[in-house]
Copies of this chain bind each other. A is one copy, B any other.
């Protein structure tokens, strides 16, 4: 396929002005230039998109479908241009409000905070904990500048920058004798889950290949990774914890952490922000620092099994 962005812009202008000469004026080119560009586009696509028989002219039915997709392309192009003009404004000072999901915050934040403050003393960092749902909501309403959470998200107005992958491990009451655990081996009758609202709960369920409706099989619900570790210790059973939660465990507890067999399940952690943020420079600085403190092996996952999160029930509309 061979076409360029100008041609797409011409096509849009044609849709709004409904006249070749008027569209040419809008685009600051001569009428024949636009005429020929559209013709080339139609030839290239092999589809007639403009109905020249009506007055004023109009898209054909197929043309309309194409125009619709072209529009979203140009919106993304515009977002790029905005991003660029924003990045060139390289004054690295100001305030950024970010949100981190609860199952990540206590382990990730101490890792980068000091380094960030040293490297960028003029950036004020305000951090809060939020679920994915309310992070997205607050990004859209500009209450927040960025979020650090599990992706992918499939939100049109949100931009995702993947940063690293975090492996899942099994944490059990009694030490597991083998050095790897199969997913089938999870003892679902003695299994600790996070409470509703945590995206990691979704991932846990996905991992167990359980349906949400069968949750009666699962024991209680905890509010944080620390809690499910404690519950497992005192009451028994097993649970799943993310890699970074294992790092600061004392040796005795660490001995009861077991990896999964390859390909190990991982979650993708990303920095996200609104497409029309005006703080790209600052966010880029933040992302840079986080990537500096994260060990390199967490950045590549070739044959890992990425656990996506699918919305259990989207929002409340009809």
Interface residues of A (CB under 8 A from B): 1, 3-5, 45-47, 61-62, 64-66, 68-70, 72-73, 76-77, 79-81, 83-84, 87-88, 101-103, 130-133, 135-137, 149-150, 153-157, 159-161, 196-200, 202, 280, 283-285, 287-288, 309, 311-318
Contacts and interface: CB of A to CB of B under 8 A. Distances in A.
A133 B77 CA distance: 29
27 contacts: A3-B5, A4-B4, A46-B84, A61-B284, A61-B288, A65-B87, A65-B161, A68-B159, A72-B159, A73-B73, A73-B77, A132-B317, A132-B318, A133-B314, A133-B316, A136-B314, A137-B313, A137-B314, A153-B156, A154-B156, A196-B316, A198-B317, A198-B318, A199-B317, A311-B314, A312-B315, A315-B315
B66 A72 contact: no
Identical copies of this chain, number: 2
A137 B288 CA distance: 35
A152 to B, nearest CB: 9
Contacts of A160: 68
A52 to B, nearest CB: 18
B200 A102 contact: no
Contacts of A5: 3-5
